[in-house]
Chain A
Amino acid sequence: MSLIRLEPRGQASQAMVYATPLLAVLLTLLSGFVLFLLLGFDPMKALHAFFVDPVSSKRGIGELIVKATPLTLCAIGLAIGFRANVWNIGAEGQLTMGAIVGGGLALAFYGEGGWWLLPLMVIGGAAGGMAWAAIPAYLRLRFNASEILTSLMLTYVALLMLNYLVHGPYRDPDGFAFPESRLFEADAVMPILWAGTRVHLGAALALFAVAAGWVLIARTFIGFQIKVIGLTPAAAGYAGFDQKRVVWLVLLLSGGLAGVAGMGEVAGPIGQITPNVSPGYGFTAIIVAFLGRLHPVGILLAALLMALSFIGGEAAQIAMGLPKAITGVFQGMLLFFLLASDVLIRYRVRFGARRAVA
Chain B
Amino acid sequence: MNRRTMGKTLLGLAGAAVVALSVGAAAAQDKLKVGFVYVGPISDHGYSYQHDQGRLAVEKTLGDKVSTTYVENVPEGADAERVIEQLAASGHKLIFTTSFGFMNPTLKVAQRYPDVKFEHATGYKRAANVATYSARFYEGRTVVGAIAGKMTKSNVIGYIGSFPIPEVVSGINAFTIALREQNPKAEVRVVWVNSWYDPGKEAEAAKALIDQGADVIVQHTDSPAPIQTAQERGLWSVGQSSDMTRFGPKSHLTAIVDDWNGYYVDRVKAVLDGTWKAVDTWGGFKDKMLFLAPYNPAIPADVVALADTIKADIMSGKRHSFQGPVKDQSGKVVIPEGKSATDEQILKMDWYVEGVQGKVPK
> Which residue of the partner chain A has the closest CB to B75?
A279
Contact B1 A292 (CB under 8 A): no
Answer whether residue A271 sits at the interface, using C-beta atoms and an 8 A cutoff.
yes
What is the minimal beta-carbon distance from B328 to any residue of chain A, in angstroms? 15
Answer whether residue B21 sits at the interface, using C-beta atoms and an 8 A cutoff.
yes
Contacts of B9 in A (CB 8 A): 18, 21-22
Contacts of B317 in A (CB 8 A): none
Mark out the residues of chain B between 28 and 78 whose CB falls within 8 Å of any chain A CB in the assembled complex. 35, 41, 69-73, 75-78
What is the minimal beta-carbon distance from B314 to any residue of chain A, in angstroms? 23
Contact of A276 with B77 at beta-carbon distance under 8 Å, contacts A17-B1, A176-B124, A324-B72 already known: yes
In-complex Cβ contact of B11 among A57, A272, A278, A302 (8 A): A302
Contact A178 B166 (CB under 8 A): yes
Contacts of B75 in A (CB 8 A): 276, 279
Contact B5 A18 (CB under 8 A): yes
In-complex Cβ contact of A59 among B2, B89, B164 (8 A): B89
Contact A293 B163 (CB under 8 A): no
Contact of A318 with B71 at beta-carbon distance under 8 Å, contacts A12-B1, A168-B362, A305-B11 already known: yes
Contacts of A20 in B (CB 8 A): 6
Contact of A47 with B18 at beta-carbon distance under 8 Å, contacts A12-B1, A167-B362, A324-B41 already known: yes
1/0 contact string of A59-87 vs chain B (CB within 8 Å)? 10001001100000000000000000000
Mark out the residues of chain A between 300 and 317 whose CB falls within 8 Å of any chain B CB in the assembled complex. 301-302, 304-305, 310-311, 314-315, 317
Contact A178 B100 (CB under 8 A): yes
Among A116-124, A128-136, A262-270, A349-357, the one that faces the other chain is A262-270
Contacts of B305 in A (CB 8 A): none
What is the minimal beta-carbon distance from A100 to any residue of chain B, in angstroms? 15
Contact A167 B164 (CB under 8 A): yes
Contact A302 B7 (CB under 8 A): yes
Contacts of A18 in B (CB 8 A): 5-6, 9
| Measured CA separation A177–B104 after assembly (Å) | 15
Contacts of B350 in A (CB 8 A): 177
Contacts of B83 in A (CB 8 A): 314, 318
> Which residue of the partner chain A has the closest CB to B164?
A167
| Measured CA separation A295–B5 after assembly (Å) | 8
| Measured CA separation A53–B7 after assembly (Å) | 24
What is the minimal beta-carbon distance from B283 to any residue of chain A, in angstroms? 19
Contact of A271 with B10 at beta-carbon distance under 8 Å, contacts A179-B163, A318-B87, A321-B69 already known: no
What is the minimal beta-carbon distance from A81 to any residue of chain B, in angstroms? 15
In-complex Cβ contact of A346 among B1, B23, B79 (8 A): B1
Contacts of B348 in A (CB 8 A): 176-177
Contacts of B194 in A (CB 8 A): 160, 163, 275
| Measured CA separation A293–B89 after assembly (Å) | 36
Mark out the residues of chain A between 238 and 294 whose CB falls within 8 Å of any chain B CB in the assembled complex. 265, 268-272, 274-279, 291-294
Contact B8 A59 (CB under 8 A): no
> Which residue of the partner chain A has the closest CB to B71?
A317
Contact of A17 with B165 at beta-carbon distance under 8 Å, contacts A176-B347, A278-B77, A304-B11 already known: no
What is the minimal beta-carbon distance from B8 to any residue of chain A, in angstroms? 6
Contact A21 B13 (CB under 8 A): yes
Contacts of A52 in B (CB 8 A): 18-19, 21-23
What is the minimal beta-carbon distance from A175 to any residue of chain B, in angstroms? 8
Answer whether residue A14 sits at the interface, using C-beta atoms and an 8 A cutoff.
yes
In-complex Cβ contact of B166 among A45, A176, A311, A315 (8 A): A176
Answer whether residue B153 sits at the interface, using C-beta atoms and an 8 A cutoff.
no
Contact A269 B78 (CB under 8 A): yes
Residues of A that sit less than 8 Å from B by CB: 12, 14, 17-18, 20-22, 24-26, 29, 44-45, 47-48, 51-53, 57, 59, 63, 66-67, 160, 163-164, 167-168, 176-180, 183, 198, 218, 265, 268-272, 274-279, 291-295, 297-299, 301-302, 304-305, 310-311, 314-315, 317-319, 321, 324, 346
Given contacts A22-B13, A279-B77, A299-B7, 4 further A-B contacts (CB under 8 A): A29-B18, A177-B349, A269-B81, A292-B7
Residues of B that sit less than 8 Å from A by CB: 1-14, 17-19, 21-23, 25-26, 35, 41, 69-73, 75-79, 81-83, 85-87, 89-90, 100-101, 104, 108, 124, 163-166, 169, 194, 347-350, 361-362
Q: 27 A-B Cβ contacts within 8 A?
A: A18-B9, A21-B13, A25-B10, A52-B18, A52-B23, A163-B194, A177-B165, A178-B165, A179-B164, A183-B104, A198-B82, A270-B77, A274-B77, A279-B75, A295-B4, A297-B4, A298-B7, A299-B7, A301-B8, A302-B11, A304-B11, A305-B10, A305-B11, A305-B14, A314-B83, A319-B26, A319-B90
